[in-house]
A and B are shown apart, each in its own frame.
Chain A
Amino acid sequence: NAGVTQTPKFQVLKTGQSMTLQCAQDMNHNSMYWYRQDPGMGLRLIYYSASEGTTDKGEVPNGYNVSRLNKREFSLRLESAAPSQTSVYFCASSADQPQHFGDGTRLSIL
């Protein structure tokens, strides 16, 4: 029962470096989501994909891009990392509700 798998689990970047966070789900879900979690701010939606072939911006999309590679995979890219992007990133997937979450990627930008 893999569910939602995120890689890597931890990453440290320097300001200006680029990075792609990977997410894969094995539940045949149509919808996938990327969130970031900062202390005291709950989860904020970055981008989502309601179905294969579509992506849309969430609440905080600036500085990020996404690719829905196929039904299983949804990646998040930081083109030029900034210290403000230091956060824990969660990927989720769903057929309807509830959403199922991965274990997160802890990303630090120095």
Chain B
Amino acid sequence: EDKVVQSPLSLVVHEGDTVTLNCSYEVTNFRSLLWYKQEKKAPTFLFMLTSSGIEKKSGRLSSILDKKELSSILNITATQTGDSAIYLCAVEISSNTGKLIFGQGTTLQVKP
């Protein structure tokens, strides 16, 4: 059974801290790994990592894919209150259908 597991499930930090969110997966047919940020409503896309693109960075956020360890991390440096959200990791398991398997999500709260 395909499975994606995120840790920790929740995290509370103070502004300025650096956080690392983890995502591990066991799937039969890996195509890509995606990170999403979800505030009040729709999840919004952050990064997509594939075998040919294992590291992505945008501003204070960065992500790395470790295909050997079947895992990925999402780093956020110098956190701000606006980073408070649920962070979702998903693995694409089929190129024909685009199906994603999501982890449980990590709820991040950044306190002023």
Contact = CB atoms under 8 A, between A and B. Distances in A.
B45 to A, nearest CB: 4
B41 A45 contact: no
Contacts of B32: 97
Contacts, number: 61
Nearest to B95: A96
Interface string A7-42: 000000000000000000000000101010000111
Contacts of B92: 97
Given A31-B98, A97-B34, A104-B42, A42 B9 contact: no
**What is the interface residue range for chain B against chain A?**
20 to 34
Contacts of B97: 31, 48, 50, 56
A103 interface: yes
Contacts of B96: 50
Contacts of A40: 9, 104-105
A97 B53 CA distance: 14
Contacts of B9: 40
A98 B99 contact: no
A4 B32 CA distance: 23
Contact of A98 (B6, B34, B102, B104): B34
Given A42-B105, A98-B34, A98-B48, A90 B42 contact: yes
A103 B98 CA distance: 20
Interface in B91-110: 92, 96-105
19 contacts: A33-B99, A40-B105, A42-B102, A42-B105, A43-B88, A45-B99, A48-B97, A50-B96, A50-B97, A50-B98, A56-B97, A98-B34, A98-B36, A99-B45, A101-B42, A101-B44, A102-B42, A103-B41, A104-B41
Q: Closest 7 A-B residue pairs measured CB to CB?
A: A42-B102, A101-B42, A98-B45, A103-B41, A43-B102, A50-B97, A42-B104
